[in-house]
Structure 1
Amino acid sequence: MSNKNRKRFIAGAVCPQCKNQDSLMLFFENNVEKLACVKCDYTDTQTDATVTAVTRSTESVIGVFKP
């Protein structure tokens, strides 16, 4: 098993949704860093710094084309 597939708990971290301590785990899925609580359904995703830098804050999506 590679290090990218491991789920690691974050010692002392408090879930922002259910407020349980030591219930947050950090893992990678499809090369994206994800955070999840094992006590409730809270999840969060952190994008890579290069992806965040490319995102243009002054633009918004009007619609999505699905052929």
Structure 2
Amino acid sequence: MTVRKRFIAGAVCPRCQTQDSLAMWRESGVDVVACARCGHYMREADKTVRESVRENERIIGFFQPD
């Protein structure tokens, strides 16, 4: 399955400050924005997904034993 990425006109990357370098696409109901220049990326779930997670049950990381 091919993911269609769209560039966001006029957007500025928060890391490298390059304009018109951010692309957006969806993965499993999550919006993903990535910079084509420096690789910085951000993820944000749909409002319905965010509302279904209770405040005290948010995952902040995964423990992986050595």
User: TM-score range with shorter-chain normalisation?
Assistant: 0.7 to 0.9
Per the alignment, residue 32 of structure 2 pairs with 34
Secondary structure of the structure 2 residue equivalent to 1:40: coil
TM-score, normalised via structure 1 length: 0.74
1:48 paired residue number: 46
Q: Residues 50 and 19 (structure 1 numbering): CA distance in 2 closer, same or farther, change over 3 Å? A: same
Counterpart-to-counterpart distance in 2, 1:41 and 1:55: 28
Root-mean-square deviation (CA), in Å?
2.6
Query: Deviations 1:2-32 (Å, cap 9, x if unpaired)?
Result: 7xx2100000000011100000000112332
Q: Output the amino acid matched with 1:48.
A: D
Unaligned 5+ segments in structure 1 are: none
Instruction: Specify whether residues 13 and 64 from structure 1 end up closer, same or farther in structure 2 by C-alpha distance, changes over 3 A only.
Output: closer
Note the residue ranges of structure 2 that are not aligned, 5 or more in a row: none
Distance 1:64 1:26, change over 3 A: closer
Percent identity, please: 46
TM-score (normalised: structure 2)? 0.75
